[in-house]
Structure 1
Amino acid sequence: MGFASYEEASAQVRDLCVEHLGEHLGAQVAALAKPAFGLRPVKPGTEPAGLSRWGGPALLNPGTPWPECEGVPLSLLAVLDVDALGPWLAAERPPTGDQLLNIFYCEPDPGRGYVYGQPDLPRSDDPRMCRIIPADPAKATETDAPAPALIHPPQPFYAVPVITLPSAFSVDYDPTLDTLDYNGETDGSPYYESMPGWLVADRLGEAWAEFCHKEQGLYKYDDMSFSPDQAFGWPHLEGHFPLEELSEDEPYRHVITIGHGMGDGSYLHFVLPAQALRTGDYTQTRAFPESF
C-alpha cells in the first residue's frame, strides 16, 4: 500500500478512469484528482503529524478570541498541522502563514451548563456553526474551551498520503461531476440528461471504491472500520449537499473531514470556496454533517 510519488498515483488513477470511462471522459475525471491525507490515530510505530490531533485545547495566537455561535462557545474538534504534512499537498496547500488550523464546531454540552433552546441555535450546516482559525506554531498557546463547549479528549493522529477524486461511489455523487463534457453520452437518457454525473458513478464507482480501499486504505483502513477522517483533497460524500453554492467560479475546496470522537457514525465535512482558501478567508467555511 502507498505510492512512490504523486506522479505514480496520478498515473494509476488515470489508467483506471480511462479503462472504465473511455479516453474522453476518463481523462477529464482523472484530471480532477487531488492529493489528500487519510488521518489515523497514532499507534506503535507511527509518529503524529507534528502538532496535529483531535480534541484537546485549541492552539491560538495570543489575543485570539474563542469563537462563538449566538453567544455559545464552539468546541475544538481538531488541530491540523499543515506544515507537518510534507510536500505531498503541493499546490493544494493553504496560504503559507496558515501553518496550524484549529477546527471548531458548535457542540454545547448540557453537562457544562448548556440548556437546550437557550439560545436556539441555527441549523447544523449554517456557517455560524463552525469556524477554522489559523495560528502560528511559534506563537500559539494552548487555550482551554470555555463552558458550555463540549471538550473532546486529545488524540494525536498521523497522516497517510492518498489521492482522491470527486465522490462517485456514494448515495449522491459529487456535483462537480455534472460539469464535465460528456460528448453526447448522456443524450437520450432522462436518467443521465438531468444528472449526468451518475454516468461516472455507474461506470467507475465500484472500481474506484475498490482502489481506495485496497490500494490506499482510504475510508476503510482495515477489514472492519470505516474511517472518513481526511485532510484536503475531495471528501467522501454519502449525502447531498449544496456544494454548488460554494463553486460558482471553480469547484469548492475541502479542508478536513472529522469523524473521530463524533459518535453514532457521524462526521463533518469542512468546505469553502476555492478563492477563500487561497486567500485564507476561513469565514466562508461551512460544515456539512452526515453519518454512515
Structure 2
Amino acid sequence: MDLEAMGPKATFSALHDFCAERLGAPSAARLVRLARPGFELTQAGPGEAAGHSRFGGRAMLEPGTPWPDCEGTPLSLLAVLDTDALAPWLDDLLPAGTGLLNFFALDSTSERADPAAFELSLQLDLNDPRLVAVVPARSAHAAEADAPARSSVFEPVPWSAAPGFAFPDAWDPAWGTVDLGSVVDDMPLYDITALLPGWPEQPYALHADDLAFGWPLFPTGSSPMLPDGEESSHYQHLLQLSGQDEWWIGGDSGWMHWSIPTGALRGGDFSRTVPTPDIW
C-alpha cells in the first residue's frame, strides 16, 4: 500500500474499514476518533530526507531569535522537524507557514554535557517546562545558527518520515475517553493488538521508536505526566526520541517526549511546550 499516493484521507478510510471489520461500524467509528496521524522517523538515505528534518546538527532559526536557556544555562538542539514536508498529513493541526520546528532540551547526561547543566538538572523536576523548548522558524527566513558555549552539539542524522496513524499507548488515560462497550468486556481496553488482531502488520500502523506527532510511547508502562493533571487527550504529541548513540535522556536509558496543548499548537504558541519523559 503506497500511503503517500493514497494520501491521509484515503489512508484514514482504510484504517476505519480495518477497525470496522473487527469491531463493527459503531465501535470502529468511536475508536478511530483516537487515531492520530504521525510519522516514523528513520535515518534517511540519499534523497530520502523529509526536508530539513534531522536529529542533531545546528539549529535553524530566524535572524535575531534568542537561543533558549534554562536558568541561564543554554539548552541543546536535539532535533529539527520540517513541517513543510509533513503538513499535508496533519490537516489543519498546524498554523499555515509553521515551517521548521527546533527541539531543544537541557543536556545533562551526554559526554558533551556542561557540568552546570548536570547540577541544574538535580534541582528541577523531570517534567519542568524550563527543561525544554520548541522554537519555530519560517522556512524562507531560517538559517543555521551557531550554538553558544556550554550547549552540546550532536552529529546530524537526516530523517526520512513515513506517515501513518497511531493509537494511544497501553496505559494512556486517553483510552478512558472512548466507550467500546461489550467489545472489551474480556480484555484490557489498552491492549490494541488484542483489540485489533493484525494491527502491527498494517502499513499505516505507527509503532516507531522515533516518532513525530501521533501519540507517545512509554516502554516503562507509565503514562504522560502533564501539568496540573490535565487530560492527555487535550495535548498533542510533537516528538519522541528513543535515544541516539550520542545522547540518551537519563544517561543510558529513557525516552524523551515534547508535547503541547492542542489549542496552543493550533495557535502557533510553542512556548507552552512541556516535557513528558519516560525514564527507567
Residue in structure 1 matching 2:214, options 233, 244, 267: 233
In the alignment, which residue of structure 1 is the partner of 2:174?
176
Residue in structure 2 matching 1:205, options 184, 189, 193: 193
Runs of 4+ with deviation above 6 angstroms: none
> C-alpha distance in 2, partners of 1:16/1:121?
48
> C-alpha distance in 1, partners of 2:123/2:98?
29
1:61-86 deviations in Å (ceiling 9; x for gaps)? 11111111121111101111100225
Closer/same/farther in 2, CA of residues 97 and 117 from structure 1, 3 Å limit = same
Given that residues 70 and 119 in structure 1 are in contact (C-alpha distance below 8 angstroms), is that contact kept between their aligned partners in structure 2?
no
Given that residues 22 and 196 in structure 2 are in contact (C-alpha distance below 8 angstroms), is that contact kept between their aligned partners in structure 1?
no
Structure 1 residue matching 2:190: 3-state secondary structure: helix
Relative to the length of structure 1, the TM-score reads: 0.79
1:220-278 deviations in Å (ceiling 9; x for gaps)? xxxxxxx4211122223332223484448x63111111235234453212111110101
> C-alpha distance in 2, partners of 1:12/1:205?
17
Shift of 1:288: 1.6
State the one-letter code of the partner of 2:189. V
Q: CA RMSD in A?
A: 2.9
1:151-195 deviations in Å (ceiling 9; x for gaps)? 21111111111122223xx3x2x2111012345778xx8xx9xxx
In the alignment, which residue of structure 1 is the partner of 2:140?
138
Closer/same/farther in 2, CA of residues 206 and 149 from structure 1, 3 Å limit = farther
In the alignment, which residue of structure 2 is the partner of 1:15?
17
Name structure 1 gaps, 5 residues minimum: 193-197, 220-226
Residue in structure 2 matching 1:164, options 163, 166, 177: 166
Given that residues 55 and 156 in structure 2 are in contact (C-alpha distance below 8 angstroms), is that contact kept between their aligned partners in structure 1?
yes
In the alignment, which residue of structure 2 is the partner of 1:71?
72
Given that residues 69 and 121 in structure 1 are in contact (C-alpha distance below 8 angstroms), is that contact kept between their aligned partners in structure 2?
no
In the alignment, which residue of structure 2 is the partner of 1:255?
238
For residues 185-224 of structure 1, what are the structure 2 equivalents within 5 Å? 199-202=188-191, 204-206=192-194, 208=196, 210-216=198-204, 218-219=206-207
Name structure 2 gaps, 5 residues minimum: none
> C-alpha distance in 2, partners of 1:185/1:269?
31
Relative to the length of structure 2, the TM-score reads: 0.82
Structure 2 residue matching 1:117: 3-state secondary structure: helix
What is the aligned residue count? Answer: 268
Among the aligned pairs, what percent are the same residue?
A: 35
> C-alpha distance in 2, partners of 1:131/1:65?
12
